[in-house]
Amino acid sequence: MEITLSPLSPSVNQTFYTSLFDLQDGERVRTCLQCGTCSGICPFGYIMKFPPGKIIGAIRAEIFEQVLKTDSVWMCVSCNACASFCPSNIPITRVLMTRTKEEMILAGNVPSELQAALENTQRYGNPLGESPRKRADWALGLQPEVNLLAKTRQPVEVLWYVGDYASYHPRMQSATRALAKILNALGVNFGILGPEEYSDGDSQRLAGERGLFEMMAQKNGQVFRKYKFNEIITTDPHAFNALKNEYPALGIEYPVRHYTQFLFERLEQIKPLLKTEIKAKVAYHDPCYLGRVNGIFDEPRALLSAIPGVELVEMSHQRINSLCCGGGGGGMWLDGFQWEKAHTRLSEWRVREAISANAQILAVACPYEPPRFEDATKTIPAASQLKVREIAELLAESMDL
């Protein structure tokens, strides 16, 4: 859509601008230097009519309404690269981009794919639109049986918050089962919530649906209160991020770790169990909400390095400079929309990087990634031999589980 300079609506502009200041560190937006770093590092900045820096520019020019007339903010995958490299330390993703998406959603301007995921979340408690009753079906047939807290009501050491894609996505379920087997092999006393578990809501929040996120958080909070446990571990970095950084403000506060941190703590116990060699060059993809946002870079790499035969190689984008798989911030539910705009997928770029690094296995630690990267290996001819494996899958394989 053409950008025109009139009519101006300073009130919309001003209301939006000051609403940013209510958020934690939101006032830092004032310190923007207009250096353009954010727009440059944004993986889709080159396609956006208003990349982050330009949104701030538009607000200062009092033409924020023009931003809302374009749909370019839906290219944002909330990867937090902009915020991580901003010299003024502006929380661009959490504050500016998320609030802009909120405005779009309040105005009813939502791409239909995203709408379906949000409606599914509201209705079923998961964005995939699956039956809540089937949330623990991945565990069927596992021995020993996975401890469903609603059934046993026993206090446990660890509450494993499994999450949406790890519970339901057919490609992820094998990784979820692998982690259950590892926890059993280590003698961890753990339980899951199954049908009582709701979506963590973090990607919905970052897609601008704050109200829905709060509803999910409250429902999860109610369930957490029913049971006794010492800590929560998560499969999903987004759930980890929500529980660690967002739920406490809503009064839901528990010690939480990503499973890679939990296993890393037990590395000495795991090492003797890693018997089968996996002879391969392995590139590890840092998930945005594990690495860049929450600073967990070394634990996943240490787990992979402990597997006999594994040779870790690094891709050009790594650690804080990792490249998003494209699934964050609603990207998981905007595939068609983003493809139409970009005619490429971030997962495809990433898979090409893995090939350039001579990797034979692309190792991941986020449930969005196995399906996204595996799809990418099917569309990038050079990547047809590349295997995509969850860290839990590789560990379980080496442990002969």
Partner 1 sequence: MKIAVPIKFVPDLVEELTIDPSGTALDTTWLRLIINELDDHAVEQAVLLKERGGGDVTVLAAEADGVDDFLFTAAAKGADRLIKLTGDFSTADNHALGRAFADVIKELQPDLILTGVQAHNDLDGSIGPLLAEYLGLPYVGYVAGITPGGDKVIARKEYAGGLVAEVEVKLPAVLGIQAAEQPPRYVAYSKIRQIMGTAKIEERPLGALESGGGVMIERMFQPEAAERATMLEGSPEDVADKLVGLFKELGTL
- ∠ CA(23), CA(40), CA(210), 5° rounding? 25
HSE-up of residue 366 (Cα within 13 Å, Cβ side)? 25
Q: Which is nearer to partner 1, 110 or 388 (CB)?
A: 110
135 within 8 A of 63, measured Cβ to Cβ: no
Q: Does 212 bind partner 1 (CB under 8 A)?
A: yes
Binds partner 1 (CB under 8 A): choice among 67, 136, 159, 215: 215
Cα 114 to Cα 206, 248, 269: the distances in Å are 12, 27, 43
How many chain residues touch partner 1 (CB under 8 A)? Answer: 21
Q: With H, G, I as helix, E, B as strand and everything else as coil, classify residue 394.
A: helix
State which residue, 335 or 397, has the beta carbon closest to partner 1. 335
Q: Does 376 bind partner 1 (CB under 8 A)?
A: no
For partner 1, the closer CB: 107 or 382: 107
Site string for partner 1, 34-73 (x = CB under 8 A): ----------------------------------------
Shortest reach from residue 344's CB to partner 1, in Å: 27
Nearer to partner 1, 207 or 324 (CB): 207
Q: How far apart are CA 93 and CA 115, in angstroms?
A: 21
Does residue 217 belong to the site contacting partner 1 (CB under 8 A)?
A: no
Within 10 angstroms of residue 339's Cβ, the number of other Cβ atoms is 12
Element (H, E) at 160: strand 156-161
In whole angstroms, the minimum distance from the beta carbon of 15 to partner 1 comes to: 16
The yes or no reply on residue 211 touching partner 1 (CB under 8 A) is yes
Contact between 371 and 345 under an 8 Å Cβ cutoff? The reply is: no
Q: Is 154 helix (H, G, I), strand (E, B) or coil?
A: coil
Distance in Å, CB of 96 to partner 1, minimum:
19
Nearer to partner 1, 108 or 187 (CB): 108
Interactions with partner 1, residue window 107-146 (CB under 8 A): 108, 110, 112, 115, 118-119, 122-124, 129-131, 133
- CB of 70 vs partner 1, minimal distance in Å: 18
CB closer to partner 1 out of 214 and 311: 214
Q: Give me the helices (H) in 153-266, please.
A: 164-168, 170-185, 202-206, 210-226, 237-241, 259-265
For residue 24, the 8-state DSSP code is T
- Residue of 185, 84, 87 whose CA lies nearest to 143: 185
| Distance in Å, CB of 277 to partner 1, minimum | 42
CB of 213 to partner 1, least distance (A): 9
Decide: helix, strand or coil at residue 233.
Answer: strand
Pick between residue 69 and residue 319 the one whose CB is nearest to partner 1.
69
Nearer to partner 1, 12 or 47 (CB): 12
CB of residue 193 to partner 1, shortest distance in Å: 19
Question: 256 φ, ψ to 5°?
Answer: -140, 140
Q: What one-character-per-residue DSSP string does 335-377 give?
A: HHHHHHHHSS-HHHHHHHHHHHTT-SEEEE-STTHHHHHHHHH
Residues that bind partner 1 (CB under 8 A): 102, 105-106, 108, 110, 112, 115, 118-119, 122-124, 129-131, 133, 209-212, 215
